[in-house]
Amino acid sequence: MNKDQITALSLEKFYLDLNFIMACFQEVLRELGEIDLADRLPWVTRGAGGREPIDSLDVELQAYALAFQLLNMVEENTAAQTRRMVENQLGLLDEYGLWGHRLAQLRRSGLGAPEILEIFSRVHVEPVLTAHPSEAKRASVLEQHRALYLLFVERENNLWTKSEQKSLRDEMKAVLERLWRTGEILLEKPDLSGERRNMMYYLREIFPQVLPRLDRRLKHSWEAVGFDSSLLDEPGAMPRLSFGTWVGGDRDGHAMVTADVTRETLQQLRASALDLHWENLRVLAQHLSLSDFRQNPPDELTESVKRLSEELGRAGAKAMARNTDEPWRQFVNLMRVKLPGRHDPGLPPPTSYRRPRELHEDLKLLRRSLLAVNAHRLVAIDLMPVMRAVEVFGFHLASLDIRQNSGLHDKALAQLLAFGGIPEGESYADWPEERRMELLVRELASTRPFCKDLDGLEGEAKTVLSCYQVLAEHVVACGPEGIGSLIVSMTRRPSDMLAVYIFAREVGLLRNTPAGPMCPLMVVPLFETVADLEAAPETMRVFLDHPVTKASLRDRGEHAVQEIMVGYSDSSKGAGVMASLVELHRAQVRLSRVGRESGVRLRFFHGRGGTISRGAGPTGRFLEALPRGSFDGEMRVTEQGETIAQKYANLNAATYNLELLLAGVTAVHGPKRELESLEDRNDVVFERLAQRSQDRYREFLNADGFIQFYREATPIDAIEHSRIGSRPSRRTGAQSLKDLRAIPWVFAWTQSRFYLPGWYGIGTALTELFDDDPDSIRFVAQQMDQDPFWRYVITNVETSLLSANPDIMRAYAELVNDGRVRESFLDLVNEEYRKTHRTVDQIFGAGIEARRPRLWRTLQRRDGAMEMLHERQIRLLRTWRELIDGNKTGEAEKIMPKVLLSINAIASGLRTTG
């Protein structure tokens, strides 16, 4: 079977599955008495969404939201099953971006197994689950989605009897009824504990199960390209994977993330990690029932059993009383006793493992003892997954990042200076950088704090230092491993980073070493705006040259890295998507040079969002588009909002997306490549396109009447009333475009189908380039074939453009009361849309239907139902706004749930919020 035949089969399967699940949904509605609604569902035999709303609009909106969610699930399952067909028919090497494809790619480049293993040793990938408020579905709804998807997977078994198939169908209908009876929207903002529960689901239930799947797929792919699989059996041979989170640590504009919340989160992460290892060791002990009658245990094991038993006292003796002729099992039981916090409450606490590496050393000893009796298969199947879980999850499950805005840090430091008697300290935020640096350099020469008792502090200083006090306590009790980075949002200058060392000093985190004071936690800048990205190299040069930074890096050993976070959302919001991507690319090149000149390894942390205008895009293409030689195998990347559920809600999707990330980073790191120069990037052309597109984009934002057009032609006012995420939509509450977070900014343009941040300005830039030099069309087309960065930028622009809809834009623009403002901005949008469409078509030289048939079909099958949803939302927005303008706030509040339902339904149809 070839690829075309598989594609045809998968398309047939898609329609069969869609018809099946929609028929189930239709039956559920009819059985519940919703006959008219059942006949108006999209993608069913009768009805495709009536033009006139039925009596209960909220019921209709909920039905369409659920119908789109079912469509998304069918698409996801079809994609997963298609990959399985490809793998089954064509082998492991054929699926783009996965281990087989990437390893074959590396081998064709001339690398053998030893060279690739050396690359593996440098690879370290860490997805970070953020608390960004772009998940529109309730937690209880997400749980039912997971249950339904598992039933989808069960249904793939072709051996079910007719009776069993009927039972499965009944179960699916039961889940659909639960979903229908469960309120679709968030009537109250989710609290932090709810967000934490959702995050913990992935960290506890999904990722530990995915890990052995990932390792097996790497091993099978390794064999498929002709390498010896035993080379991967050594501990540490696999690429490193870990996880991070911002939930409970991200306090940028979020006053509810208190010191207590951070303490509880760190405790919960640690307890969950220890629970995971406890259960893994329990199962391992059951499996390692090797009797000393059948094989002689090596002396190293016998001595270690005795050592641990004596070390653990009465608790160890109790463990030894079981399985007396099974020394391997006894050793594992003793390890369980030694896990922190897991001893018998009736016995005195034993001496516990203080660090995960101590547990890992005992597991390595266990491995040697099993290999000594030739139990290789038991090592591979039973032991290695337990060892990998310790490597990946440690005693902390995921590292918790602490993020705060530089502006709030300025206020906190000003208060601290005033408390410490520093003249004019209260005006610190207004000091020139030279004066700020002079003070910070002088103060950081010692570990003497300004304030010995936090009780005397108030305001921002108390807020910041109470959090740092929690971190200091955690480091003393558990070590620094569970704490990720201390991230400074809106980093603009070196003093923004060095200020964090002052906060660390105040709570005793700054320690004296022979090389001077050092900080055990890494201070990380977040460069977000174009201006900050331009200033980033000099900011980092100064920071890396500071004695505390040097001492801290030295203390972390030969593998120490300095992390730098680059933000995609705010740079795009302020300058447009092309200028943002070009400046991000340029900044990484220049920052990499600074790292090399300073002798410091850098790790970039990519703050990508869920839409193209916030940095999203296909994982493999994104990685290929990074500057050549700009990273040394280490990468962190955010996973935000609804993208977390889309990528990781089930084992198949989670395995696929993590494999894409791990294999992609490995391949891009691949053969050692020199850092590309700006000239290699055809900088003159890109600079021109980036600058002109930015100018055009900013002209639009700065035009008279823009705020009125934006607030009336999009549902931004309703989105600000929504209950998506626990964070406010604005950082400080100021009613300005600057203060509005990038997520609601993009969300509003997406809901009204403008998708404007993902393409506006690029059409003008390309048109002027092509008009000035017609040969440049051919040049750009050639770059698309040869240069992954060009291809990534232009392809993402095209995707945004295709998702935009001029007719729906016009319909939303009719909500703008001032006709002059409406027509003026619509003319600008339509003109830019036509230019962008025309120039992108010129570059590709072929229609989207032929080049990207999957995307084209995805958009086409949504069109009719989406038009109806947009029409309903526009009608609701108009009514709601009229009620507010007429001071009928009570009636406006009553209609708000319907408005929120329309937002949720459209988000489901588009598969994105912000």
Catalytic residues, by residue number, are 132, 573
CA 396, distance to chain mean position in Å, is: 19
Task: Say how far apart CA 322 and CA 325 lie, in whole Å.
Answer: 9
Are the C-beta atoms of 669 and 633 separated by less than 8 Å? yes
Task: Say how far apart CA 431 and CA 75 lie, in whole Å.
Answer: 56
Instruction: Report residue 155: phi and psi, to 5°.
Output: -65, -15
CA 102, distance to chain mean position in Å, is: 22
Torsion, Cα 753 759 761 765, to 10 degrees, reads -150
The Cα-based distances of 285 to 281, 290, 324, 605 in angstroms read 6, 10, 13, 39
For the residues of 169-197, what is the DSSP string, one character each?
HHHHHHHHHHHHHS--S-SSPPPHHHHHH
Query: Distance from first CA to last CA of the chain, Å, rounded?
Result: 40
| One-letter amino acid for residue 298 of the chain | P
Q: What angle do CA 246, 247, 248 make, to 5 degrees?
A: 105
The Cα-based distances of 321 to 282, 318, 343 in angstroms read 16, 5, 15
Task: Say how far apart CA 329 and CA 283 lie, in whole Å.
Answer: 10
CA 192, distance to chain mean position in Å, is: 18
Instruction: Report residue 97: phi and psi, to 5°.
Output: 90, -15
Task: State whether the Cα torsion 452-457-461-462 is positive or negative.
Answer: positive
Task: Say how far apart CA 691 and CA 221 lie, in whole Å.
Answer: 44
**Nearest Cα residue to 720 out of 706, 741, 703, 702:** 741
Structure tokens at 265: 């989160």
β 124-129/634-639 pair status:
parallel
The Cα-based distances of 535 to 104, 441, 584 in angstroms read 40, 20, 12
Structure tokens at 827: 């003319």
The Cα-based distances of 276 to 202, 400, 887, 892 in angstroms read 13, 18, 55, 49
Task: Say how far apart CA 609 and CA 616 lie, in whole Å.
Answer: 6
- DSSP annotation of 250 reads B
For the residues of 858-886, what is the DSSP string, one character each?
HHHTTHHHHHHHHHHHHHHHHHHHHHHHT
Residue found under tokens 């610190």: 428
